[in-house]
Amino acid sequence: MVRFFAASAIVGVLGLSGCGGGGGPGKSAYVDKANAICQTARTETGPLITQVTSLAGSLASGGASTAQRLVGTLSRLHTVAAGYLAQLQRLKQPSGDHTAIERFLTPLGQVVNAIGKAALAVGSGQLPAALGLLEQAAPVAQDATAAAHAYGMRQCETVVAALG
């Protein structure tokens, strides 16, 4: 259970990546900009991921107050991740690379959405549903990791790879 929350949180961090219009910069320039955004995202979301992991681990003994803190932390993580996703979506993509970039961005967007839905589920007292959402996000995160690696976005890849 803790692993799924942590995995989703980390994936949400990476869900930060998005895509922009075509005809833009070369691949190297795009990768540099995306990696810079992912590095900043990792720095900002790392403490949130740590909190999610800790709170998820103490849900059984912490009761309603722990669940409320978890909701707040997941919500904050979702907000931060969505903000970085928007930044990355504004990046112009290199001509001809849209499909390769979408192989990374689409699953990351799905993970960001899963984190938001999981926060709502925990807030509604539906912990099993929240866990299910996060479990479903884990293989999607692996797809994002593979796509980031294939395109050369090493900073984005390492954020997603933290899912383990």
Task: Identify the pLDDT of residue 10.
Answer: 55
Q: What is the pLDDT of residue 163?
A: 39
Q: Which of 76, 17, 27, 81 is nearest to 52 (CA)?
A: 76
pTM, 2 dp: 0.81
pLDDT computed for residue 11 by the predictor: 53
pLDDT, tens digit (0-9, with 9 covering 90-100), for 135-163: 888 899 899 989 999 999 999 987 665 43
Q: Report d(CA 91, CA 21) in Å as an integer.
A: 7
Q: What number is the average pLDDT over the span 122-133? A: 88
pLDDT in tens, 73-101: 999 999 999 999 889 889 999 999 999 99
